[in-house]
């Protein structure tokens, strides 16, 4: 019975960590999108010039 309790606690902890990461990412999505647009915009211009 102890093994099942430890397994359940570990699984719920894992789920909580994943949900926390998703929640933080969701809250910071605008900043993340702006960062990725700036980062990949420079790469896109280099690719267009190389053709």
Residue ranges making up the domain that contains 20 = 2-50
Average pLDDT over residues 28-39: 92
Predicted TM-score (pTM) of this structure: 0.60
Give me the percent of the chain exceeding a pLDDT of 90.
Answer: 63
Domains in the chain: how many in total? Answer: 1
Lowest mean pLDDT: which of 8-12, 15-19, 32-36, 47-51? Answer: 47-51
Average pLDDT over residues 40-48: 67
* Cα 31 to Cα 37: distance, rounded to the nearest angstrom: 10
**What does the DSSP assignment read for 12-24?**
HHHHHHHHHHHHH
**What does the DSSP assignment read for 1-51?**
-HHHHHHHHHHHHHHHHHHHHHHHHHHTHHHHHHHHHHHHHHHHHHHHHH-
Q: Say if residues 19 and 11 touch (Cβ distance below 8 Å).
A: no
């Amino acid at each position: 019975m102890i093994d099942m309790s430890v397994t359940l606690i570990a699984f719920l902890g894992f789920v909580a960590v994943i949900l926390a990461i998703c929640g933080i990412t969701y809250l910071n999505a605008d900043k993340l999108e702006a960062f990725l647009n700036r980062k990949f915009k420079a790469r896109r211009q280099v690719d267009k010039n190389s053709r």
